[in-house]
Amino acid sequence: MIAEKVLFLVLDGISDRPCEALGGLTPLAAARTPVLDRIVAEGISGIMDTVAPGIRPGSDTSHLALLGYPPREFYTGRGPLEAEGTGIHMTAGMIGFRCNFATVDAAGLVTDRRAGRISGTEPLAEAVRDGVDLSELGVGFRFEAGAGHRAALALVGEGLGDKVSSNDPKKEGVRPLTVRPCTADPADAKTAAACNEFIRQSGEILQNHPLNVRRVKEGLPPGNLLLIRGAGNMGSFPQFSERYGISGSVISAATLISGIGKAVGLEHIPVPGTTGSVDSDLDAKVRAAIGELGRKDFVLMNIKGADEAGHDGKGIQKRDFIEVIDKALAPLLDLESTLIVVCADHSTPCSVKDHSADPVPVVIRGPGVRVDRTNRFDEVSCAEGGLHRIRGRDLMPIILDLINKSHKYGA
């Protein structure tokens, strides 16, 4: 039998390094994961450098690689992809940015890059949309809240460049940076000036917003500064259905991933109750994915919470959330004629609190797959599997071959 459908499950940032808090095991190795283990036992596994060995990928470049769009060829910055995911349709000439609602103290130092993982930021976004005015600079803008502390900005206007730096210092206890043009092109100077003005005006609005005033009273970090990064124009992506001859959907609360999906032509299926965090309704997500497999050939599903726990350095929370994921995946075991592919997009070690280049585990289970002798979904066990060590860009060709959609190389 040949599989007809593909469920491509990316467990964002799930792989890790040995954690002291877990007796030297990774959260994945420490977690009880009977469902994932069964998928490994019934499938073929391996480890994967999502971009290349030693390259520490962002979720943007790694997801592009996993979908078979090598980032060196297709990546034009995170911002436009994140913007597309929040519902801002990026057209030619617009410059997109990823934003964080962050906290600055009275001395102007960034004290929390994620404002205590603030959520429910729509009222803040609305105030920014209503209050910021960049018309003196000849620039318009779109601004939308995303999941948790995330948001996206798109600048709109004539002669805007995308080669500008970020105000995100990427660490706490220091001042935000000034956005600078990276070239002598006046277009980049115009964008940098618009960014700095946007950050200044939005900061004033956010500082006094009732939602933030209330957060301060409650002892919570306010979202009183926008950190912006990842400037870029929208790239040009051959559509998934033309590239591979199959239809597809994306299910992800993380706007970056839904934005990447939309950019390559996957239909975004929103699922109420999903948050992109450890409180997400994973049962609803899995139900939605199974429903989509009835309509489409390929479903990309991203589950984000383990990555957040890794960024927060919380090994025990990460292990516990992995167990929640595992339980939610149980209905997948009954899928017939479906290739189930499970991997991470990068490692997010709790000891690093950021992404690392450590390869990630990957497993493929379904009709036609040569079953190897591995039986545990973790970083070390999968390294003994029959896929051995592959790159992210190898995965789509392997999947397409297993569903009989690959082109013969030669006559």
Ligand X SMILES: O=C(O)[C@H](O)COP(=O)(O)O
Residue at shortest CB range from ligand X: 100
Q: Are 25 and 316 in contact (CB under 8 A)?
A: no
Write down the least CB distance from residue 178 to ligand X, Å.
19
Q: Are 14 and 324 in contact (CB under 8 A)?
A: no
Which residue, 67 or 118, is less far from ligand X as judged by CB?
A: 118
Q: Degrees (nearest 5) of the Cα angle 98, 102, 104? A: 140
Tokens of 365: 């289970």
Among 26, 45, 59, 338, binds Mg ion (CB under 5 A): 59
The one segment of 204-212, 323-331, 341-349, 363-371 that binds Mg ion by CB under 5 A: 341-349
Considering the rule CB under 6 A, would residue 280 count as an interface residue with ligand X? no
Residue recorded with tokens 């049962």: 283
Partner whose binding site includes residue 100, from Mg ion, ligand X, none (CB under 5 to 8 Å by kind): ligand X
Which residue, 13 or 232, is less far from Mg ion as judged by CB?
A: 13
Tokens of 205: 């609005």
Burial of 111 (0-12, 13-18, 19+ CB in 10 A): middle
Contacts of 61 (CB under 8 A, 6+ apart): 51, 71, 75
SS3 128: helix
Write down the least CB distance from residue 113 to ligand X, Å.
6
The DSSP line for 212-228 is: HHHHHHTTPPP--EEEE
Considering the rule CB under 6 A, would residue 59 count as an interface residue with ligand X? yes
Up-side HSE of residue 225: CA atoms within 13 Å toward CB? 24
Write down the least CB distance from residue 333 to ligand X, Å.
29
Write down the least CB distance from residue 311 to ligand X, Å.
6
Among 76, 100, 119, 167, binds ligand X (CB under 6 A): 100
Write down the least CB distance from residue 212 to ligand X, Å.
19
Tokens of 278: 């450890």
Residue at shortest CB range from Mg ion: 59
Considering the rule CB under 5 A, would residue 12 count as an interface residue with Mg ion? yes
Which residue, 50 or 338, is less far from Mg ion as judged by CB?
A: 50
Which residue, 169 or 397, is less far from ligand X as judged by CB?
A: 169
Considering the rule CB under 6 A, would residue 114 count as an interface residue with ligand X? yes
Q: Are 248 and 403 in contact (CB under 8 A)?
A: no
Partner whose binding site includes residue 142, from ligand X, Mg ion, none (CB under 5 to 8 Å by kind): none
Tokens of 363: 């497993």
Which residue, 32 or 175, is less far from ligand X as judged by CB?
A: 175
Which residue, 14 or 164, is less far from Mg ion as judged by CB?
A: 14
Alpha-carbon gap, residue 367 to 142, rounded angstroms? 46
Partner whose binding site includes residue 63, from ligand X, Mg ion, none (CB under 5 to 8 Å by kind): none
Contacts of 112 (CB under 8 A, 6+ apart): 102, 103, 172, 221
Amino acid at 344: A
Write down the least CB distance from residue 18 to Mg ion, Å.
20
What is the arrangement of strands in the sheet containing 298-303, beginning at the earlier edge strand? 267-268, 248-251, 298-303, 5-11, 338-343, 360-365, 44-49, 388-391
Which residue, 190 or 346, is less far from Mg ion as judged by CB?
A: 346
The count of other CB atoms within 10 Å of the CB of residue 53 is: 10
Write down the least CB distance from residue 69 to ligand X, Å.
19
Q: Are 12 and 344 in contact (CB under 8 A)?
A: yes
Subset of 227-266 contacting ligand X (CB under 6 A): none
Considering the rule CB under 6 A, would residue 314 count as an interface residue with ligand X? no
Considering the rule CB under 6 A, would residue 150 count as an interface residue with ligand X? yes
Which residue, 12 or 372, is less far from ligand X as judged by CB?
A: 12
Contacts of 9 (CB under 8 A, 6+ apart): 289, 301, 303, 329, 332, 340, 341, 342, 343
Considering the rule CB under 5 A, would residue 37 count as an interface residue with Mg ion? no
Which residue, 230 or 359, is less far from ligand X as judged by CB?
A: 230
Contacts of 169 (CB under 8 A, 6+ apart): 110, 175, 176, 177
Subset of 98-117 contacting Mg ion (CB under 5 A): none
Alpha-carbon gap, residue 271 to 251, rounded angstroms? 7
Considering the rule CB under 5 A, would residue 345 count as an interface residue with Mg ion? yes
Considering the rule CB under 6 A, would residue 78 count as an interface residue with ligand X? no
Nearest partner of 380 among 28, 33, 38, judged by Cα: 28
Partner whose binding site includes residue 345, from Mg ion, ligand X, none (CB under 5 to 8 Å by kind): Mg ion
Subset of 118-147 contacting ligand X (CB under 6 A): none
Subset of 300-319 contacting Mg ion (CB under 5 A): 307
Binding site for ligand X (CB under 6 A): 59, 100, 113-114, 150, 307, 311
- Enumerate binding residues for Mg ion (CB under 5 A): 12-13, 59, 307, 345
